[in-house]
Structure 1
Amino acid sequence: MATIGNSFPQLIDMHKGSTEGSVVELLSQQNPILDDAIATECNMGASHRHMIRTGLPSVAWGRLYQGVPQSKATMQQVDDTTGFVEAMSGVDVRLLKLAPDPAKERLTSAAPFMEAMNQEVATGIFYHNTETTPEKFKGLSARYSSYSDTRGTIANQVVNGGGTGSDNTSIWFVTWGDHASSLIYPKGTKAGVSHEDKGEQRVLDESGQPYFRKEDYWCWHVGMFVKDWRYNARVANIDVSNMLAGSVDLWALMRKAYYRLQSRRRDGVASRIAIYMNRDVLEILDVQSSDRSLLAANPNYTGLTHMTVEGKEVRAYRGIPIRETDAILNTEAAVPVAP
Structure 2
Amino acid sequence: MSPRKYIQRSENGKQIAAVVELLKQQNPILDDAMAVEANMGAVHRHTIRTGLPEVTWGRLYQGIKQSKSTTQQVDDTTGFVEALSTVDQRILDLAPNRGALRLSEATAFLEAMNQEMATGLFYHDTATTPEKFKGLSARFNVIGGGGAGNQVIDAGGTGGDNTSIWFVTWGDNYSHLIYPKGSKAGLQRQDMGRQRVIDADGNPYYVEEEKFTWHLGLAVKDWRYVSRIANIDVSAVEAGTVDLYALLRQAYYRLQSRRVAGGRQAIYLNRHMMEALDALATNGGAGDNFVRLTPREIEGKEVLTYRGIPLRETDALLNTEAAVPAAF
Same fold (TM over 0.5): yes
Question: In 2 relative to 1, CA 297–327 (structure 1 residues): closer, same or farther, beyond 3 Å?
Answer: farther
The answer as to 2:284 corresponding to 1:286 is no
Task: Note the 1:1-339 alignment, pairs <5 A.
Answer: 30-148=26-144, 153-265=147-259, 267-268=260-261, 270-293=262-285, 296=286, 298=288, 303-339=292-328
2:27–2:315 contact (8 Å) kept in structure 1: no
1:231–1:263 contact (8 Å) kept in structure 2: yes
Gaps of 5+ in 2: 1-23
Per-residue deviation, 1:29: 7.9
2:282–2:291 contact (8 Å) kept in structure 1: no
Q: Which amino acid aligns with 2:172?
A: D
Determine helix, strand or coil for the equivalent of 2:281. Answer: helix
Per-residue deviation, 1:302: 5.7
Q: Which amino acid aligns with 1:77?
A: Q
Gaps of 5+ in 1: 1-27
Partners of 2:165 and 2:57 in 1: how far apart?
44
1:199-218, CA deviations, whole angstroms, 9 ceiling, x for partnerless residues?
A: 11111233333211011110
Determine helix, strand or coil for the equivalent of 1:187. Answer: coil
1:145–1:335 contact (8 Å) kept in structure 2: yes
| Cα RMSD (Å) | 1.6
* Structure 1 runs, 4 residues or longer, greater than 3 Å off: 296-299
1:30–1:115 contact (8 Å) kept in structure 2: no
Determine helix, strand or coil for the equivalent of 1:62. Answer: coil
Per-residue deviation, 1:30: 4.1
Partners of 2:233 and 2:169 in 1: how far apart?
25
1:225-272, CA deviations, whole angstroms, 9 ceiling, x for partnerless residues?
A: 00000011100000011011111111110010001111111x24x211
Determine helix, strand or coil for the equivalent of 2:247. Answer: helix
Determine helix, strand or coil for the equivalent of 2:254. Answer: coil
1:131-181, CA deviations, whole angstroms, 9 ceiling, x for partnerless residues?
A: 111100000001111112x6x632111111010111100000011100111
1:30–1:118 contact (8 Å) kept in structure 2: no
Q: Which amino acid aligns with 1:133?
A: T
2:82–2:212 contact (8 Å) kept in structure 1: yes
Per-residue deviation, 1:290: 3.1
Partners of 2:26 and 2:93 in 1: how far apart?
30
Per-residue deviation, 1:297: 5.3
Per-residue deviation, 1:68: 0.6
TM-score computed with the length of structure 1 as normaliser: 0.87
Count of residues paired in the alignment: 305
Per-residue deviation, 1:119: 0.8
Per-residue deviation, 1:289: 1.1
Determine helix, strand or coil for the equivalent of 2:137. Answer: coil
1:251–1:302 contact (8 Å) kept in structure 2: no
2:177–2:216 contact (8 Å) kept in structure 1: yes
Q: Which amino acid aligns with 1:172?
A: W
Which moved further from structure 2: 155-164 or 96-105? 96-105
Which moved further from structure 2: 49-58 or 200-209? 200-209
Determine helix, strand or coil for the equivalent of 2:136. Answer: coil
Partners of 1:133 and 1:73 in 2: how far apart?
34
Per-residue deviation, 1:67: 0.8
Partners of 2:26 and 2:277 in 1: how far apart?
22
Q: Which of these two proteins has the greater Rg computed from alpha carbons?
A: 2
Partners of 1:176 and 1:224 in 2: how far apart?
11
Determine helix, strand or coil for the equivalent of 1:113. Answer: helix
Partners of 2:97 and 2:43 in 1: how far apart?
40
